[in-house]
Amino acid sequence: MSARRIEIFCPKCRWRPNPASRWFCKPECGNSWNTFETGGICPACGHAWAETQCLKCGQFSPHREWYHETAVGGPAAHNKKKKRKEKRLAGAR
């Protein structure tokens, strides 16, 4: 059992947004908010943003691609064992 953590960063340049980061909605809405607190949904007009622009590199990426699941803590002994087994199987051709 290893803990998993979701990390949020730009899939293009790995820039990490912080709580003070703000994204702007459509001009007719004019709202600015932290899009990762709402899963890409504007709290003012309810528009769901499928893509999120990086404030660092300026490129758009699908919102869900900003979420990266990483295993944290503890030696991944179980994974290592599994990998070794797979290798052996591959070599026994």
Both tokens assigned to 93: 């051709």
Beta bridge partners of 32: 24
Left (φ > 0), alpha (ψ -120 to 50) or beta: where does 40 sit? left
**Least Å distance between CB 86 and Zn ion?**
34
Instruction: Give which of 11, 69, 72, 64 is closest to 36, Cα–Cα.
Output: 64
Please say which residue, 43 or 74, places its beta carbon nearer to Zn ion: 43
Span from 16-24, 38-46, 70-78, 84-92 in contact with Zn ion (CB under 5 A) = 38-46
**Least Å distance between CB 45 and Zn ion?**
3
Please say which residue, 20 or 90, places its beta carbon nearer to Zn ion: 20
Site string for Zn ion, 49-68 (x = CB under 5 A): -----x-xx-----------
Length in residues, the chain: 93
